[in-house]
Chains A and B, each alone.
Chain A
Amino acid sequence: MAEKPKVAFYWCASCGGCDETVVDLAEAVLDVVAAVDIVFWPVAMDFKRKDVEAMPDDAILATFVNGAIRTTEQEEMAHLLRRKSKLLLAFGSCSHLGGIPGLANLFDRESILQAVYCESPSTVNEEGVLPSVRHNDNGHSVELPGFYETVRTLGQVVDVDFYIPGCPPTARILRTALQTLLGGELPPKGTVLAPDYALCEECPRKDSKPVNLSISQFKRPQEVLIDEEKCLLTQGLLCMGPATRGGCEAPCVQGNMPCTGCCGPTSRVRDQGGKILSSLASLLESKEEGEIDQALATIPDPAGSFYRYGLPSSLLRRRKLPDSNLEPPKVR
């Protein structure tokens, strides 16, 4: 019998939700699973890094990597899996755009380590010990992966063949993506394997969105009784639909919550945050600066809301570091 094609899954900076999606597919992927050999999947199977290292280059047909890149170990694994795989796929928002871990780019390494290891209320760390790459204790030495100042997407670290969007990708997006991959003719390299139109296009509430929509202020979901039929943006809720790629079939809107933008922008938009900022600001009624500011104050966290899943892949990529952080790095 001919050898089955080899497939691998890996996770970097992520929550585990993407691996969950693969498991969730259960019956739907049984056919796929029967047709392939899973050679590496840390969350579910006991293979080790050395098993991957032992494979010849290009031995794996397709590797699905979820999670953003923020440690040296993740970067090494990305390079290793790239070498061993014919196709490398960024799977899910973190790998595709930076994802929720990418919001760390609003801070710098030092303040993150301080917050996590010194300041958080549940931490007792009187000596203020921070993790270090090398630690010696009584003649024993341990090594930890290094933690980068900036979170990156998989595509900013290695060559990526295809992107599967979503936080996590819906079963339908994954199924369609797999069909495309197995269908023989591959789309051009770099393609996001999902439809290339804005979410509003496929939103069940689309028809209730007026052509000349104008709003006087924005509201947060906990502040209003949300109408279950009407377009959420029309109700003043910050719905990312107009700046977000469709394909998910709007599960959030169907659950009566605004879209937060997890599938990223369409191919015609370079910067999802810039795009939604533009549409939302244009919807305001006021022409007077003070009034405009008042209305805009109802969006308390523009950067965090507009780049919730995509700060590392945005044009600016991160909050500007203090100039001192940009000097040659100090190794601790």
Chain B
Amino acid sequence: MPDAMPNSSHAVPPRVEPQTFEPRIVAFFCNWCTYLAADLAGTSRMKYSPNVRVVRVMCSGRVDPQFVLDAFAHGADGVLIGGCHPGDCHYQEGNYKALRRYRLLKRMLRQMGIEEDRIRLEWISASEAERFRWVMNDMVEHVRVLGPLRLQPDEEVFAEEEVAV
């Protein structure tokens, strides 16, 4: 299990027994930082969890909360947003916007029964390949502990639902 990195607000998850569940994580990475860090981690041949599907965006401020909701609605077990460190956003304030939305979205998701650890915002600069690797692994481990996110039964299951009152 990865060690805790100083720069993170997330606690280290309890140890998980190896199991068959492979979390599906959707990641929105800013083109100017986290996406480049991913690139660097790749070219440096760093090993990290393969569970993450990356969507490149021009800025973390471009991540509409609807993207996150859509990802969860379509089967993501976790969503990761990666942006430039405060003060470093290419478009000045996009990452602050992302932070504000994230704080509110997290609260709303909690009301919707979606655990806090399933959504995460991290600042990772282009040179922080090691931190990138750690965040990816750490996120996957946290979500693995939570297990699959099983939202409402899908349409067919619902149609067959025998009514129990």
Complex contacts, A296 vs chain B, CB 8 Å:
100, 103-104, 107
Kindly identify, within residues 98 to 116 of chain B, every residue whose CB is under 8 Å from any CB belonging to chain A.
Answer: 99-101, 103-105, 107-108, 111-114
Complex contacts, A318 vs chain B, CB 8 Å:
112, 152
Q: Are A133 and B163 in contact (CB under 8 A)?
A: yes
The answer to whether the Cβ of A303 comes within 8 Å of any Cβ in the partner chain is: yes
Q: Are A316 and B99 in contact (CB under 8 A)?
A: no
Mask, A267-301, CB within 8 Å of B = 1, is 00111011101101110101101001100100101
The answer to whether the Cβ of B5 comes within 8 Å of any Cβ in the partner chain is: no
The answer to whether the Cβ of B10 comes within 8 Å of any Cβ in the partner chain is: no
Q: Are B69 and A274 in contact (CB under 8 A)?
A: yes
Complex contacts, B152 vs chain A, CB 8 Å:
150, 316-318, 320-321
Cα A284 to Cα B69 in complex, Å, equals 21
Complex contacts, A330 vs chain B, CB 8 Å:
164
Q: Are A319 and B96 in contact (CB under 8 A)?
A: no
Complex contacts, B158 vs chain A, CB 8 Å:
150, 152
Stretch at the interface among A90-98, A141-149, A191-199, A221-229: A141-149
The answer to whether the Cβ of B14 comes within 8 Å of any Cβ in the partner chain is: no
The answer to whether the Cβ of B134 comes within 8 Å of any Cβ in the partner chain is: no
Q: Are B150 and A323 in contact (CB under 8 A)?
A: yes
Among B108, B113, B162, contact of A320 (Cβ-Cβ < 8 Å): B113
Q: Which residue of B lies closest to A276 (CB)?
A: B65
Cα A329 to Cα B149 in complex, Å, equals 19
Complex contacts, A293 vs chain B, CB 8 Å:
103
Interface size on B, residues (CB 8 A): 36
The answer to whether the Cβ of B151 comes within 8 Å of any Cβ in the partner chain is: yes
Cα A306 to Cα B161 in complex, Å, equals 29
Cα A289 to Cα B68 in complex, Å, equals 20
Complex contacts, A2 vs chain B, CB 8 Å:
none
Q: Are A320 and B65 in contact (CB under 8 A)?
A: no
Q: Which residue of A lies closest to B69 (CB)?
A: A315
Q: Are B165 and A130 in contact (CB under 8 A)?
A: yes
Kindly identify, within residues 111 to 135 of chain B, every residue whose CB is under 8 Å from any CB belonging to chain A.
Answer: 111-114
Cα A317 to Cα B154 in complex, Å, equals 11
Q: Are B86 and A287 in contact (CB under 8 A)?
A: yes
Complex contacts, B112 vs chain A, CB 8 Å:
106, 303, 316, 318-320
The answer to whether the Cβ of A109 comes within 8 Å of any Cβ in the partner chain is: yes
The answer to whether the Cβ of B73 comes within 8 Å of any Cβ in the partner chain is: yes
Cα A319 to Cα B72 in complex, Å, equals 12
Q: Are B165 and A278 in contact (CB under 8 A)?
A: no
Q: Are B153 and A326 in contact (CB under 8 A)?
A: yes
Complex contacts, B151 vs chain A, CB 8 Å:
316-317, 320
Q: Which residue of A lies closest to B165 (CB)?
A: A147
Cα A149 to Cα B152 in complex, Å, equals 10
The answer to whether the Cβ of B7 comes within 8 Å of any Cβ in the partner chain is: no
The answer to whether the Cβ of A208 comes within 8 Å of any Cβ in the partner chain is: no
In angstroms, how far is the closest chain B Cβ from the Cβ of A108? 10
Q: Are A149 and B104 in contact (CB under 8 A)?
A: no
Q: Are A148 and B66 in contact (CB under 8 A)?
A: no
Cα A17 to Cα B43 in complex, Å, equals 63
Q: Are A270 and B70 in contact (CB under 8 A)?
A: yes
Cα A304 to Cα B65 in complex, Å, equals 17
In angstroms, how far is the closest chain A Cβ from the Cβ of B107? 6
In angstroms, how far is the closest chain A Cβ from the Cβ of B109? 8
Residues of chain A having any CB pair with chain B under 8 Å:
72, 106, 109, 113, 130-133, 144, 146-150, 152, 269-271, 273-275, 277-278, 280-282, 284, 286-287, 289, 292-293, 296, 299, 301-304, 306, 314-321, 323, 326, 329-332
- List 4 additional contacts besides A130-B165, A315-B66; criterion CB under 8 Å: A132-B165, A278-B101, A281-B101, A318-B152
Residues of chain B having any CB pair with chain A under 8 Å:
64-66, 68-70, 72-73, 86, 93, 96-97, 99-101, 103-105, 107-108, 111-114, 147, 149-153, 158, 161-165
What are 7 A-B pairs with beta-carbon distances under 8 A? A146-B165, A147-B163, A277-B104, A299-B104, A302-B108, A306-B108, A319-B111
